[in-house]
Amino acid sequence: DAGITQSPRYKITETGRQVTLMCHQTWSHSYMFWYRQDLGHGLRLIYYSAAADITDKGEVPDGYVVSRSKTENFPLTLESATRSQTSVYFCASMERGGSGAWNEQFFGPGTRLTVL
């Protein structure tokens, strides 16, 4: 199926465990993003990637690790989960635009993560 998918959709884990959230897009978009959504905060950018093997920090990167070995995949890892990382995580992708072009970000359905 074309589009952007995330897995798992729901995850419950315990404090201190490692968790990896997966994101896959079929459009070959250059940019990919990870956001977290929390009540009272809207969406906040965790990490983004401009291309394979190029990643950079967003607004709230602490406690998270990303990689992008292939254009279509952008996994997010919580190396040692904490309760404060309980959230809904959204992946998004976007094609690189030319000068003067706006760029729509396309979002996945989200992963609801609970850290006990």
Residues forming contacts to another protein in the complex (CB under 8 A) are 31, 33, 40-45, 48, 50, 58, 90, 92, 94, 96-105, 107-110
How far is residue 76's CA from residue 60's CA, in Å, rounded to a whole number?
A: 13
The pairing of strands 111-115 and 10-13 is: parallel
Q: Which one, 42 or 69, has the nearer CB to another protein?
A: 42
**CA distance readout (Å), 9 to 22, 55, 89:** 10, 24, 9
Q: Which one, 42 or 62, has the nearer CB to another protein?
A: 42
**Minimum CB separation from another protein for residue 10, in Å?**
11
Q: Which one, 11 or 44, has the nearer CB to another protein?
A: 44
